[in-house]
Homo-oligomer: A and B are copies of this chain.
């Protein structure tokens, strides 16, 4: 049987706008449905037909309209990133990781910072999810620690993955790093260097990452039988300013701590700032440790010894988890849901003088 001829340009086809599936169907002499089958890689399709239609698609430069697809499929192709994180580099790394995962797919990334403090936060997110009918969202700490947010996603029927500092019960929705163990190792390093008076600047109350890191610190001290005096722990909330304040209090102590471990780099940078302000030499007079490995950490003097967590990889894994079982491939590379952080040794730690 002769193939239907490839017709000339259909009358209704306006050159000014993009070609539609109808144009492709008319030109290649098949029905819309067949073209749809080609687009969606349907297996029950004559190979000749497929090739012919593919040729026309290419000739015409046809690109399926995502809005129409979204409407028909009752889901769109948008991944949301919900975050409430003051660390720009971290947010951007997460964006990078997600974008790596959705590269060459039809998905796009839409960002939505929220205000954790605001009482309307949950409602804001609800509107965001419902209105846009997002395919799924990635939740970044600290807002990812909010259980009612996860519950909301379940309720609405929106897929989600939470990024965090420790495994939760539901592996399904979680991508985590091992903050506790990483801090334990880093503290052990300080102890091995001979430090005994080690102070801790904690993260904000209610943050899982803050708790995990604190626990890791206590683990190491406990194992080395070093008592942790209450005065050696200062409160912070992950900002530079609280780092400075906490350091000022700790450096007034007598005897002074020989090392200060801040729960994140921004506070550690504040410690360094405070130390310099009072003329202390780092690391001779004081060792400093941070957590995150922000770009700044390596750019200040002395460069900061810190813990790096593979944030880009984690974000990529989170996005792939979201997309699992959707892609064309279907080979479903299962990403790990637990990532290991590593100690980056730079110049802000030395053996104590006494």
Q: Hey, which bits of chain A sit against chain B, CB under 8 A? A: 18, 63, 65-68, 70-71, 76, 78, 88-89, 91-93, 95-96, 99, 106, 108-113, 127, 130-133, 240, 266, 269-270, 272-273, 276-277, 295-296, 298-301
Inter-chain contact B113/A96, CB cutoff 8 Å: yes
**Shortest CB distance A271–B (Å):** 11
Chain B hits for A65, CB < 8 A: 71, 133
* A240 with B109, Cβ < 8 A, contacts A63-B131, A130-B18, A130-B63 known: no
Chain B hits for A273, CB < 8 A: 299-301
Inter-chain contact A270/B296, CB cutoff 8 Å: no
In the complex, A95 Cα to B92 Cα: how many Å?
A: 11
Inter-chain contact A95/B111, CB cutoff 8 Å: yes
Inter-chain contact A299/B111, CB cutoff 8 Å: no
In the complex, A65 Cα to B78 Cα: how many Å?
A: 14
Can you report 23 residue pairs joining A to B where beta carbons are below 8 Å apart?
A63-B130, A63-B131, A65-B133, A71-B71, A78-B108, A78-B110, A88-B92, A88-B295, A95-B113, A99-B111, A99-B113, A106-B131, A108-B110, A108-B112, A109-B111, A110-B110, A110-B111, A240-B295, A270-B299, A272-B301, A296-B299, A299-B300, A300-B300
Question: Which residue of the partner chain B has the closest CB to A76?
Answer: B67
Question: Which residue of the partner chain B has the closest CB to A69?
Answer: B67
**Shortest CB distance A67–B (Å):** 4
Chain B hits for A111, CB < 8 A: 95, 99, 109-111
- A92, A93, A298 — which one has the most chain B CB atoms within 10 A of its CB? A92
Chain B hits for A130, CB < 8 A: 18, 63
Which 5 residue pairs of A and B lie closest in terms of their CB atoms, listed nearest first?
A276-B301, A88-B92, A67-B70, A88-B89, A88-B88
Inter-chain contact A68/B66, CB cutoff 8 Å: no
Question: Which residue of the partner chain B has the closest CB to A134?
Answer: B108
In the complex, A162 Cα to B332 Cα: how many Å?
A: 39
**Shortest CB distance A301–B (Å):** 4
In the complex, A272 Cα to B303 Cα: how many Å?
A: 12
In the complex, A89 Cα to B106 Cα: how many Å?
A: 28
In the complex, A108 Cα to B77 Cα: how many Å?
A: 13
Question: Which residue of the partner chain B has the closest CB to A128?
Answer: B108
**Shortest CB distance A86–B (Å):** 9
Inter-chain contact A133/B277, CB cutoff 8 Å: no
Question: Which residue of the partner chain B has the closest CB to A68?
Answer: B71
Chain B hits for A76, CB < 8 A: 67
Chain B hits for A127, CB < 8 A: 63
In the complex, A120 Cα to B89 Cα: how many Å?
A: 26
Chain B hits for A112, CB < 8 A: 99, 108
